[in-house]
Amino acid sequence: MARIAAYDHDAVVEQAVLQFWADGFAPCDVESLTRASGLNRHSLYKAFGGKSGLFIEALNRYIASEAAEYLALLEKGCDLSALVEYFERATKSIQAPRSEDAEERRGCLITNTVIEMGRSDKDVAEIIDRYFARVERAFCDLIKRSQKNGAIRADLDPKATARWLFITAQGMSVSARFGRSFSGLPQIVRAALAPACS
């Protein structure tokens, strides 16, 4: 009879998300992961195939939990307030410290991974490509819905505006790692997209 795993798979992946988010992929060594998860090295390799396998699960978990909150705002929203709230929440999250004793901000795990790894890992790149496409599509669909009800300027091209918002969000995350503040960005988004007062 197969042995029942004596660890909580979900808890291990959650701890890995936090560790990779704080350290990045390359600087996060196996010892750090075993300390954070409570698994020994042998168990980590047996359960996840090593650090890379655990990183893939951590990225997927981040998208399914942390990033899902932001995607839901876009995919369910139907007016400009959803976009403003998206940027307000994102600003608060990415400006959080990387750890309790660190001054450097954590940014977004997805953006951090792109900066660190580029397209060097095929599996990671595929996950990020799918996520980025979903975010940009969600921006575009929200813009179209909002234009129909008059909440966003009708003269804007939805695809081009979605691309601008996507690039703005990613650039914001990169810049946050260098200590830049974006407290006024939601208001800038509102001013750029809102219909002119009649």
Domains of the chain and any CATH numbers: 9-62 (1.10.10.60), 67-193 (1.10.357.10)
Work out the mean pLDDT of the chain and round it to a whole number. Answer: 86
- What does the pLDDT look like over 86-134, one tens digit per residue? 988 888 877 766 555 555 667 789 999 999 999 999 999 999 999 999 9
Residue 153 has pLDDT above 80, yes or no: yes
- For residue 97, the SS3 value is strand
If one counts every other C-beta atom within 10 angstroms of the C-beta of residue 31, the result is 9
Residue 4 has pLDDT above 70, yes or no: no
Nearest CA-CA partner of 74 in 124, 17, 131, 125: 131
- What does the pLDDT look like over 64-84, one tens digit per residue? 998 898 899 999 988 999 999
